[in-house]
Structure 1
Amino acid sequence: MSTTVLMKREGAIAVLTLNRPEKLNALNYEANDRILSLLDQIEDDPRLRLVILTGAGDRAFSAGGDIHEFSETVKMGPDVAIKAFVRRGQAVTRRLEAFTKPIIAAVNGIAFGGGCEITEAVHLAVTSDKARFSKPEINIGIPPTFGGTQRLPRLAGRKRALELLLTGDEFSPDRAYELGLVNRVVPHDRLMPATFELAERILRHSPLAAARIITSVTRGINASITEGLEIEAEQFGRMVGTKDINEGLDAWIARRIPNYSGS
């Protein structure tokens, strides 16, 4: 079994840890495949309702793609490089973005390249005040390939995104917060407690409603407002008739805490 990404269960939370600290948790092909495999397992397990994604060690969340591995693929030509490197990385960020169970990144160190793209793709992110961010791909003569040219402008705005993409400059956690990449900056020793606190605030609510919200936002963000409203109505319709909507309404009327079954 691959140890490039570890999974630990903490009640209803699956904690995934990028586990190549000696390589600054660089995302080699094996790690990317492992993330997808673990997400499949989590999706199929009703006991797991939320994912926290972090990096091993104190130095890095992820330094991005494994350049040594990628450079060998590049020598095989564009078709091979796109299939092995680009499509694989994009599959990971697309899966994270559209996953119907909430995913929170706990950014514990540098988040460069693919590590930054994962932060952009997940639903929520808490970052250590010791973390650093960068879009450094231009330094090796390529554009970002895991969705960074698409998600960063949507989060930060075109001009601010282009400055980061075209310079490759590092930026601070506070700047990441200003740009909308992360939800909160916390002292390094508070990173995991703060992330779990956020997770628990989400877990109070219906997992079905959380899934419908994530789907509505993910599908609707790039649609016209008319299409987005149809998506929203469709996701609401999927809640009608479920035990969770009835429990939520009954609990509100009775002024009690709801007990959601996820059905």
Structure 2
Amino acid sequence: MDYEHLLVKVEDRVKIITMNRPEVLNAMNHLLDEELHHAVMSANEDEGVGCIVITGAGERAFSAGGDIHEQRAHAVELTEEQREANSLLYQNWMYDISASPKPVIGMMNGLAYGGGAVLASCLDMRVGCENTRFRFLAVAYGRINSTWTLTNQVGWPTAKEFLFTGRVVEAEEAYRVGLLNHLVSSAELRDKTMEIATTIAGHRPESVMGIKQILLQDKAADLRGMWENEVDFTAKVKGYGVEQAFPEFIARRGREL
């Protein structure tokens, strides 16, 4: 599929998806939403992809959120039922990305405000730089979002503060509270993100996707249920033998003997 608002490439089994509307800080209009959803879903169907990275074009923004000009036009052009349908579609594609069987990493090249922050909080992990900052803005315009994602990243008290206030969260704070897994310079951002992504992509896909599936199931399980999920799943997946899992160690040990 040819994309109008995305740049897509596969590198070392990592699918890198770049939201490409830098002139509007990578604001997410309806078409970009559809394309991003398609790009992630197609990556899950591609055996040549083991991990997915989402980022934004330029150094200013991951995404400034929803396209206000499009939303304003839709407020005039669309009926209330059509706007509600669009809102539901938006929520569904965000969920699909969050539940992607393959891990998705946010390469946070700049600000993530509004819908951009929601998208970032849907991802499995985030790598940021000095340009990164977040703002969960729903409360400012009478909406509600990120309640099902942000608590999983930063915990309940911090999530409440971010969602109740809608304030800016700078990179250092985001890293301190766990919203960023890593904080590096902008010059190092791509290398650090790809280091993590290629490591993940190099592992056995069944194991990586199995871990994510179990973790998602465990959100509503007690300790016994968490243990049972792991036992049930691992019984279905034949692991590597030691020769496959630790070839370098075995070779080195052989030389030492």
Q: Same fold (TM over 0.5)?
A: yes
Alignment of 1:232-251 (within 5 A): 232-240=230-238, 245-246=239-240, 248-251=241-244
State the match for 2:23 in structure 1.
22
Aligned to 1:222: 220
- Answering whether residue 192 of structure 2 is matched by residue 190 of structure 1, we say no
The separation in 1 between residues aligned to 2:210 and 2:63, in whole angstroms, is 30
1:126 aligns with 2:127: yes
Number of the residue aligned with 1:69? 70
Gaps of 5+ in 2: 252-257
Q: Which has the larger radius of gyration?
A: 2
Deviation at 1:5, TM superposition (A): 1.6
CA shift, 1:97, in A, is: 1.9
Does structure 2 retain, via aligned residues, the 8 Å contact 1:177–1:184? yes
1:1-263 superposed matches below 5 A: 1-74=2-75, 76=78, 78-85=80-87, 87-144=88-145, 148-240=146-238, 245-246=239-240, 248-252=241-245, 255-256=249-250
Q: Which has the higher contact order (CA 8 A, sep 6+)?
A: 2
Tell me, in whole angstroms, the C-alpha distance in 2 between the residues paired with 1:250 and 1:29: 50
Q: TM-score, normalization: structure 2?
A: 0.88
Question: Are the structure 2 counterparts of residues 231 and 90 from structure 1 closer, same or farther at C-alpha, using a change threshold of 3 Å?
Answer: farther
Give the Cα separation in 2 of the matches to 1:236 and 1:82: 42
Q: 1:23 Cα deviation (Å)?
A: 1.3
If the length of structure 1 is used for normalisation, what is the TM-score? Answer: 0.86
Q: 1:77 to 1:188 in 2, by over 3 A?
A: same
Q: 1:204 to 1:11 in 2, by over 3 A?
A: closer
Name the aligned partner's letter for residue 154 of structure 1: N
Secondary structure of the residue aligned to 2:147 is: helix
CA drift of 1:187 comes to: 0.5
Structure 1 regions of 5+ residues with no counterpart? 258-263
AA partner of residue 250 (structure 1)? E
User: 1: distance between equivalents of 2:28 and 2:202?
Assistant: 33
Counterpart of 1:260 in structure 2 is: none
Structure 1 window deviating more from structure 2 (74-83 vs 132-141): it is: 74-83
% same residue:
28
Q: Which amino acid aligns with 1:251?
A: Q
Letter in 2 for 1:182: L
Which amino acid in structure 1 is aligned with residue 43 of structure 2? Answer: I
Q: Distance in 2 between matches of 1:181 and 1:92?
A: 21
1:182-227 C-alpha deviation (Å, 9 max, x unpaired): 2001101110011111123223321110010011112212333333
